[in-house]
A and B are shown apart, each in its own frame.
Chain A
């Protein structure tokens, strides 16, 4: 069977809530999707937190705007996957997930051992490493 080739693999090790890298990774992904390309994100380190199913669909209430709607990170990523027609996918590193007790990913996340990192890279035409763990 011929292995699927993805246009771009983003290895995301920067943690959320610390810089703009997570947002940049999502915007970069969207820009590739808008051009008709395909993107996979390999989430390592604390970025494995982004897709935990314990978030639910929304963030906690904003005490200063309790009626506001604030989607959770997992809801945003699920929506991107659903809207991408199979061109956007998310991988959670099993080692980083277990290291952080972040093992309850939403079902759209493929969980993959770091032993398969090079194999995953071989399945993409380009790889960008967004570090910062």
Chain B
């Protein structure tokens, strides 16, 4: 899809992870980015705090729950969303300190994401017109 690019370059910082599942399904924070980034000249994403786990590649977790006779398999699928953001040209930064503090290594991240220290990331803020805290 061609970008209409009406909006300025944005850096979007996600600190809070896991804002609902059954009530949210596809409509999570990363969906918002996937849905809207085409309106902006550029949208890059920073995952910090517990949100770094959204970019940890693992294939054992199934975003699915059974409620009554309903198998609800449309819960948020953050790893897939991160892969899609990367595929659509967004740079997804992952805060190195938060990642290692939670016991993960950069090698465990979804390919294409960028593990970066808080200091190095702060130096990149001037590349954007606006920094949004989602």
Contact = CB atoms under 8 A, between A and B. Distances in A.
A19 B26 CA distance: 15
A71 B21 contact: no
Nearest to A18: B19
Contacts of A16: 20, 23-24
Contacts of B39: none
A73 B72 contact: no
A79 interface: yes
Interface in B54-103: 65-70, 72, 74-75, 84
Contact of A79 (B20, B25, B31, B69): B69
Nearest to A65: B26
Interface in A30-74: 30, 33, 50, 59-60, 62-65, 68-71, 73
Nearest to A33: B68
Contacts of A22: 20-23
Contacts of A20: 18, 20-21
B107 interface: no
Contact of A30 (B27, B31, B66, B84): B66
A95 interface: no
B127 interface: no
A63 B35 contact: yes
| Interface of chain B: mostly helix, strand, loop or mixed | loop
A4 interface: no
B23 A64 contact: no
Contacts of A60: 27
B68 A80 contact: yes
A73 B27 CA distance: 13
A3 interface: no
A104 B42 CA distance: 41
A30 B67 contact: yes
Most chain A beta-carbon neighbours within 10 Å: one of B24, B31, B65: B24
B19 A17 contact: yes
Report, nearest first, the 5 A-B pairs whose CB atoms are least far apart. Answer: A83-B68, A23-B21, A16-B23, A80-B68, A62-B26
